[in-house]
Structure 1
Amino acid sequence: MHAVRLHAFGPAENLVYEPAPTPVPAPGQVRIAVAAAGVHLLDTALREGNLGPFPTLPELPTVPGREVAGTVDALGPGTDPAWLGRDVVVHLGLAPGGYAEYAVADAGRLHPVPPGLGPAEAVAMIGTGRTALGILQFTDLGPDSVALVPAAAGGIGTLLVQYAVSAGATVIALAGGPDKTARAAANGAHLALDYTDPAWSDTVRAHHPGGATILFDSVGGPVTRTALDLLAPGALRLVFGWSAGPLTLTDAEEAALTARGITTRQVLGPAMFRLVGTPDPLRTLETRALAEAAAGRLRPAVTRFPLAEAAAAHHALETRATTGKVILEP
């Protein structure tokens, strides 16, 4: 088979498409003929040698990627034979191996791909979709809500916009450039603005002088600093990323937010899992996400690259040249 392997930590160009050993499933595992593999920002961090939330760096050479969909073509000893030939999607967890023509996974992690859902869309929901639904647990969106969504054309942002619109909320979407703002508008955003335009905050104030009631903050940096001034008294800020760099507030700025009654919550990790309230919260969120997409209530956006162009996919993701979930296809 062919796979994308990383032999040395560093830039995207270190990802090499080359022949690699075809994996053999161990007991309780399946092998998947990969039709779609997800690319995550965490993949780019690991490629550079940054741990992020991971306890250790992968041993080199490694095949990156932790989200795949495809058809089960081989079974390990003791694996339920009913999986053979089925179209499945799986999040591999801490184990990489997705950027390849074949990948192995524990059978207990598999989800059947729902009817009507393609492999790329299934991959988008198994990772990005579960995160979006986890974040949305902390909200009570309704007709009185005014939601401010930076990165609204990204994988998570796309789903947040769709969900908020369906809940009856007024949605202010921020994205970089006219193509991305058009996509946010097509998803139902009531106001879609280019955050590279210095006047974007003035437009928000003109349309919503009372301010936004919730900020879905995955960006940090200058965009978030400006967005904080646009929040209504008593608003909620949900923090789940900092793609433009962490935002460090001064004591005076923190005090001002407190005086306005604005609450900030970090929502990824243990807080999200506790709120799910099931023994396996990640699987619960994955199941819910796939069901939402299968029912058409959430429609993931994807940007596709051939597997052999994984380096280009990483570069595009890092330079914000993509919309939705980035997918590699063998």
Structure 2
Amino acid sequence: MRAIRLHEFGPADNLTYEEVPDPVPAAEQVLIAVEAAGVHLLDTALRQGTAGGGPVAPPTLPTIPGREVAGTVEAVGPGVETGWIGKRVVVHLGPVPGGYAERAVARVESVHEIPDHVDAAHAVASIGTGRTAAGILEQAAITAEDVVLVTAAAGGMGILFVQSARNAGATVVGLAGGPEKTHQVRELGAQVVVDYRQPDWVEQVTENLGERDLTVVLDGVGGENGRRAFELLGIGGRILMFGWSGGGPVEITTQDLMERGLSATWAIGPKLMRRLRHLETTALTETAEGRWVPLVTTFPLAKAADAHRALENRETTGKVVLLT
């Protein structure tokens, strides 16, 4: 089969498209003919060898990256019912990579069957990014009374947050970079959409909201823009943080919280790890029933290096997916 391999940590060009042996399913495993493989921002850090101390250990080289795949079960290992053969499935491979390939193996207990009307790319977006989004949204408990600001609203999780807040009847403020992304966020249903690259974006948000205060910030950007979003919260508001792609986590002091009765939550990590199967099911249900329509940016499997570069340069919208 063909696969993407990494032999040396470094730039995206180190991802090479090669012929490798087919994997063989062991006991309690299935072999999946991959249609779509997810690309995560974490993958770029693992590729560079800079993900030490993060949620996933650096891989042993050479490696086939990727932990999210969707496709059709082609064979089963010992102890697995043959009825799985031919089923369309999606799976998060967990700590063991191998997704950027034409075939991958997974534990049968980890796979989810997907209905025919859900395409492989959307299933991949749900199983990885979607499960994290579902966990954050459960904690946010958004209602129709909320005014919700989503940083990086055109990102893989951002677009799901926008749709969920809209579905709950909340007022949604989406921040995105550039006219194309702001247009897409507006199309998803955000009532207020602002380009965070504009120096006066805070003033634009305030002007559009009028007398209304922000009640919720969902922030995976951190840095200066994350802090500015936090400062827009009204009395009793809450911020849920899940990353810092903008340079570092939002710096918040106890005094910051006391002054306006705010709350701050680190919304990922151990609290989600024990519930991953439930959250995957929730995310897949939201997609299958049409409440979520994931946006994806696709690349051929052979162009995985291009996908990494585009993701690092913030040139993508929604979830980045490789197609075989």
TM-score computed with the length of structure 2 as normaliser: 0.96
Contact 2:56 2:95 in 1 (8 A): no
Distance in 2, matches of 1:156 and 1:121, equals: 13
Which string of whole-angstrom CA distances, capped at 9 and with x for unpartnered residues, describes residues 212-250 of structure 1? 100001000111121122110111000001011113537
Residue of structure 2 in register with 1:241 after alignment: 243
Matches within 5 A, 1:69-88: 69-88=70-89
Tell me, what secondary structure is at the counterpart of 1:82?
A: helix
Tell me, what secondary structure is at the counterpart of 2:139?
A: coil
Contact 2:7 2:61 in 1 (8 A): yes
Contact 1:220 1:241 in 2 (8 A): yes
- Percent identity over the alignment is 53
The answer to whether residue 113 in structure 2 is matched with residue 112 in structure 1 is yes
User: Match of 1:128, as an amino acid?
Assistant: T
The answer to whether residue 226 in structure 2 is matched with residue 232 in structure 1 is no
Deviation, structure 1 residue 210: 3.7
Contact 1:115 1:294 in 2 (8 A): no
Distance in 2, matches of 1:295 and 1:4, equals: 33
Deviation, structure 1 residue 92: 0.2
Matches within 5 A, 1:197-236: 197-208=198-209, 209-236=211-238
Structure 1 runs of 4+ off > 6 angstroms? none
User: Match of 1:323, as an amino acid?
Assistant: T
Contact 2:176 2:182 in 1 (8 A): yes
Residue of structure 2 in register with 1:187 after alignment: 188
Which string of whole-angstrom CA distances, capped at 9 and with x for unpartnered residues, describes residues 263-288 of structure 1? 11001022235xxxxxx611111111
Which string of whole-angstrom CA distances, capped at 9 and with x for unpartnered residues, describes residues 122-161 of structure 1? 0000011111110011122222100000100111000000
Residue of structure 1 in register with 2:21 after alignment: 21
Distance in 1, matches of 2:131 and 2:321, equals: 16
Say what the alpha-carbon RMSD is for the aligned residues: 1.3
TM-score computed with the length of structure 1 as normaliser: 0.95
Tell me, what secondary structure is at the counterpart of 1:205?
A: helix
Unmatched tracts of structure 1, length 5 or more:
274-279
Matches within 5 A, 1:8-157: 8-49=8-49, 50-54=51-55, 56-157=57-158
Distance in 1, matches of 2:57 and 2:219, equals: 27
Which string of whole-angstrom CA distances, capped at 9 and with x for unpartnered residues, describes residues 23-78 of structure 1? 11111111111000000011111111123534632111000000000111111122
Q: Sort the Cα spacing of 1:52 and 1:177 in 2 relative to 1 into closer, same or farther, 3 A.
A: farther
Distance in 2, matches of 1:55 and 1:63, equals: 15
Contact 1:159 1:300 in 2 (8 A): yes
Deviation, structure 1 residue 257: 3.5
Distance in 2, matches of 1:13 and 1:288, equals: 36
Q: Sort the Cα spacing of 1:250 and 1:79 in 2 relative to 1 into closer, same or farther, 3 A.
A: closer
Equivalent of 2:308 in 314, 319, 325 = 314
Deviation, structure 1 residue 169: 0.3
Distance in 2, matches of 1:270 and 1:323, equals: 28
Deviation, structure 1 residue 256: 3.1
Deviation, structure 1 residue 21: 1.2
Q: Sort the Cα spacing of 1:69 and 1:196 in 2 relative to 1 into closer, same or farther, 3 A.
A: same
Q: Sort the Cα spacing of 1:250 and 1:83 in 2 relative to 1 into closer, same or farther, 3 A.
A: closer
Q: Sort the Cα spacing of 1:292 and 1:247 in 2 relative to 1 into closer, same or farther, 3 A.
A: closer
Distance in 2, matches of 1:322 and 1:55, equals: 23
Distance in 1, matches of 2:276 and 2:115, equals: 18
User: Match of 1:295, as an amino acid?
Assistant: E
User: Match of 1:8, as an amino acid?
Assistant: E
Contact 2:46 2:58 in 1 (8 A): yes
Residue of structure 2 in register with 1:277 after alignment: none
Residue of structure 2 in register with 1:288 after alignment: 282
Which string of whole-angstrom CA distances, capped at 9 and with x for unpartnered residues, describes residues 193-224 of structure 1? 10001111111111224421000010001111
Which string of whole-angstrom CA distances, capped at 9 and with x for unpartnered residues, describes residues 85-138 of structure 1? 111100000000000011111111111112310000000000111111100111
Distance in 1, matches of 2:2 and 2:156, equals: 27
Residue of structure 1 in register with 2:4 after alignment: 4
Contact 1:148 1:173 in 2 (8 A): yes
Tell me, what secondary structure is at the counterpart of 2:204?
A: helix
Contact 1:4 1:310 in 2 (8 A): yes
Contact 1:54 1:94 in 2 (8 A): no
Distance in 1, matches of 2:124 and 2:105, equals: 15
